[in-house]
Chain A
Amino acid sequence: MSFASHYSYWVTVLLMTAGLYIVIARGNLAKKLIGLSIFQTSVYLLYIAPGKLIGGTAPIIAEGFKVYSNPLPHVLILTAIVVGVATLALGLALVVRVREAYGSIEEDEIVAADARDRDAG
């Protein structure tokens, strides 16, 4: 259980917290989406890294190869990447529409504009 043998988990945790922090701390809608993407990317690593065995090959039965890496996480993450890309694309599309409607993509300015609307009735 040394630090070095688990380095992929440390990278995962770092990306996860960094991504989540950006989502929470940034007021710019596009930057929030970048944080969200980093957060999702950490999950890809969480799945794929444990599937790899050192010295393992692709799971094809052949003479001389005894150790195989697990292919299932790759397939799962291929799907998760598609989901992530779709989310990012939709998010960015919404940001474009928000900019058209509000003239800004800063959260505090949008909230202020909504408050003005409410006061005006």
Chain B
Amino acid sequence: MIAEHLPALQVAVPLAAAPLIVLLRHPTLAWWIALGACGFALLAALLTAAQVAGAGTVSYALGSWPPPWGIEYRIDTLGAFVLVLVAGVAALVVPFAWRSVAAEVPREQHYLFYAVYCLCVAGLLGMAATGDAFNLFVFMEIASLAMYVLIAFGRDRRALFAAYQYLILGTIGATFYVIGVGLLYLMTGTLNLADMASRLPLAQSERPVLAALAFITVGMSLKLALFPLHLWLPNAYTFAPSAVTAFLAATATKVAVYVLLRFYFSVFGAPLVSAELPMPQILLALSIAAIVTASLVAVWQPDLKRMFAYSSVAQIGYITLGIGIASRDGLTAAVVHLFNHGITKGALFLLIGGVVLRAGWAGFERIQGLGRSMPLTSLGIVIAGLSLIGIPGTAGFVSKWFLVLGAIENGQWWLAALVVGTSLIAVAYVWRFVEAAYLAAPGPRTPAPGEPPAAMLVPAWLMVAACIYFGLDTSFTVGAARRAAALMLGGAP
């Protein structure tokens, strides 16, 4: 009975949790409600993923209005995969937030924090679940507005300005997306993505369709922080509360990538995007620029949060590189890296959250000799860092492997060499941490020996374990990504 409503419930429960938390105004209750809502969302996402793997695409007519008239929730392999990532990270960040938020946010604002957090989770899940272009916009704005607030919770006053800058750029991105959807609506008369895809070939004129493609590409590129539209990202990640940084880095940009994939391959279709237009070449050029410049900039940053924020821009470059390769292996790499980078960055920022709690700030002068004072945290950062580089046995290796395969399959040997070569820059910035934490003697500003509380360390280490697990057993990630890539290139949504 309730199982058939799971596609809608996984979005509705966190959405309903937010006003409930505001009404109760109790910090501890707020945390429990957020934990329950995110736990339920994870359970529902896993059940939906199992259902999709068994019976194919799940379609849910909201309010029993049949699509394309009513809003349809349409969850295919790719959607279910993204739902599991978002709900999984959301459910792991809540236990972490118990101590981390207590240290970084005034107690009287806790209930507001968890209310906004639930809204953000609901928005991101809704983006991945919905099959309606305008509904997607509304969920995108729910998630984005919640994110601006979450970033502004940061202790530093620079968090306010970072949130403001993100608000301006994020709204421009969302508005570009709506302009694109509006043009598509004018040409097709429908907002249902599957219906839109079937009607697009009948469009009377190609020019508005191409304009829509351009608007949606630029809009979503702003949201996913594709170079050179990434300017909002480093400050937002650096000054947001630790729990927020971990959640955003693992999910927000990934869901934006999902929307771009959805429009490219489910609505416009691979023939238009990759054969008629030079989209792959454009994405390839921007991705390479992102990987090289952002990795190099990351090496010179003064603190861990900022360093890994720039590394995020570079890693997003690897995801879009996979889209740019546009073959089956390339798309598999993009989808796998979307997941693998999510858990890797989630693990890193959760562990750095522990460092911030103990040291006040994750600057390099405060982590001298960290390997001795916080051995478990340091070891976790090193393992997640290895996954970032792409060492065999970690999740990052799997994505790099498929990227190299895709490049070689296209005969682009230079690209394969570039993927491997740029990983060396990642070695450079991860080595900076190793050097400071293990080779330097503890400095005057290094925190006294002691790990962060277990409530923070356990979720972080679960993510680190996931980095290793998904590097060894790739049946879930690669299996889902391969099916998703086949569906996308098949053209059918």
A98 near B145 with CB under 8 A, answer: no
A114 at the interface (CB under 8 A from B): yes
Return the contact of B179 from the options A36, A43, A110 (Cβ within 8 A). Answer: A43
**In the complex, what residues of B have CB within 8 A of residue A43's CB?**
175, 178-179, 182
Report how many residues on chain B are interfacial, defined by Cβ distance under 8 Å.
Answer: 25
A110 near B171 with CB under 8 A, answer: no
Q: Knowing A79-B134, A114-B158 are in contact, say whether A90-B179 is a contact too (CB < 8 A).
A: no
**In the complex, what residues of A have CB within 8 A of residue B145's CB?**
86-87, 90
Return the contact of B152 from the options A40, A94, A114 (Cβ within 8 A). Answer: A94
A29 near B164 with CB under 8 A, answer: yes
**In the complex, what residues of B have CB within 8 A of residue A36's CB?**
168, 171-172
A91 near B175 with CB under 8 A, answer: no
The number of residue pairs between A and B whose CB atoms lie closer than 8 Å in the complex comes to: 68
Return the contact of B149 from the options A23, A83, A90, A95 (Cβ within 8 A). Answer: A90
Considering only residues 43-97 of chain A, those with a C-beta below 8 Å from chain B are: 43, 46-47, 50, 73, 76, 79-80, 83, 86-87, 90-91, 94-95, 97
| Most chain B C-beta atoms within 10 Å of own C-beta, residue among A32, A40, A79, A87 | A87
**In the complex, what residues of A have CB within 8 A of residue B191's CB?**
76
B13 at the interface (CB under 8 A from A): no
Q: How far is the CA of A36 from the CA of B186 in the complex (A)?
A: 24
**In the complex, what residues of B have CB within 8 A of residue A117's CB?**
158
B138 at the interface (CB under 8 A from A): yes
Q: What per-residue 1/0 map shows which CB atoms of B159-198 lie under 8 Å from chain A? A: 0110110011001100100110010011000010000000
B182 near A39 with CB under 8 A, answer: no
Considering only residues 287-327 of chain B, those with a C-beta below 8 Å from chain A are: none
A18 at the interface (CB under 8 A from B): no
Q: State how many angstroms separate the Cβ of B421 from the closest Cβ of chain A.
A: 32
Q: How far is the CA of A98 from the CA of B186 in the complex (A)?
A: 40
B207 at the interface (CB under 8 A from A): no
| Most chain B C-beta atoms within 10 Å of own C-beta, residue among A36, A47, A83 | A83
B157 near A40 with CB under 8 A, answer: no
**In the complex, what residues of B have CB within 8 A of residue A79's CB?**
134, 138
B164 near A94 with CB under 8 A, answer: yes
**In the complex, what residues of A have CB within 8 A of residue B148's CB?**
90, 94
B329 at the interface (CB under 8 A from A): no
A101 at the interface (CB under 8 A from B): yes
Interface size class of A (residues with CB under 8 A): 20 to 34
A39 near B164 with CB under 8 A, answer: no
**In the complex, what residues of A have CB within 8 A of residue B164's CB?**
29, 91, 94-95, 98
Q: State how many angstroms separate the Cβ of A64 from the closest Cβ of chain B.
A: 26
Q: How far is the CA of A91 from the CA of B182 in the complex (A)?
A: 25
A46 near B138 with CB under 8 A, answer: no
Return the contact of A101 from the options B149, B157, B171, B175 (Cβ within 8 A). Answer: B157
Q: Knowing A79-B134, A94-B164, A94-B167 are in contact, say whether A50-B178 is a contact too (CB < 8 A).
A: no
Q: How far is the CA of A117 from the CA of B134 in the complex (A)?
A: 43
Q: How far is the CA of A23 from the CA of B171 in the complex (A)?
A: 11
**In the complex, what residues of B have CB within 8 A of residue A23's CB?**
168, 172
Q: How far is the CA of A114 from the CA of B157 in the complex (A)?
A: 9
B141 at the interface (CB under 8 A from A): yes
A21 at the interface (CB under 8 A from B): no
Q: How far is the CA of A50 from the CA of B157 in the complex (A)?
A: 45
A7 at the interface (CB under 8 A from B): no
B160 near A94 with CB under 8 A, answer: yes
A32 near B168 with CB under 8 A, answer: yes
**In the complex, what residues of A have CB within 8 A of residue B134's CB?**
76, 79
What residue in chain A is nearest B169 (Cβ atoms)? Answer: A23
Q: Knowing A36-B171, A79-B134 are in contact, say whether A94-B186 is a contact too (CB < 8 A).
A: no
What residue in chain B is nearest A101 (Cβ atoms)? Answer: B157
Q: How far is the CA of A91 from the CA of B164 in the complex (A)?
A: 7
19 new A-B contacts at CB < 8 Å, known A33-B168, A83-B141: A16-B179, A29-B164, A43-B175, A43-B179, A46-B179, A46-B182, A47-B182, A79-B138, A80-B178, A83-B137, A87-B145, A90-B148, A94-B148, A94-B167, A95-B164, A98-B157, A98-B160, A110-B161, A114-B161
Chain B residues within CB distance 8 Å of chain A: 134, 137-138, 141, 145, 148-149, 152, 157-158, 160-161, 163-164, 167-168, 171-172, 175, 178-179, 182, 185-186, 191
The 7 closest A-B pairs by CB, nearest first: A101-B157, A83-B141, A94-B164, A98-B160, A97-B160, A46-B182, A47-B182
Q: List 19 A-B contacts (CB under 8 A).
A: A29-B164, A39-B172, A40-B171, A46-B179, A80-B137, A80-B178, A83-B137, A83-B141, A86-B145, A87-B145, A87-B171, A90-B167, A91-B164, A91-B167, A94-B152, A97-B152, A98-B161, A98-B164, A101-B160
Chain A residues within CB distance 8 Å of chain B: 16, 20, 23, 29, 32-33, 36, 39-40, 43, 46-47, 50, 73, 76, 79-80, 83, 86-87, 90-91, 94-95, 97-98, 101-102, 110, 114, 117
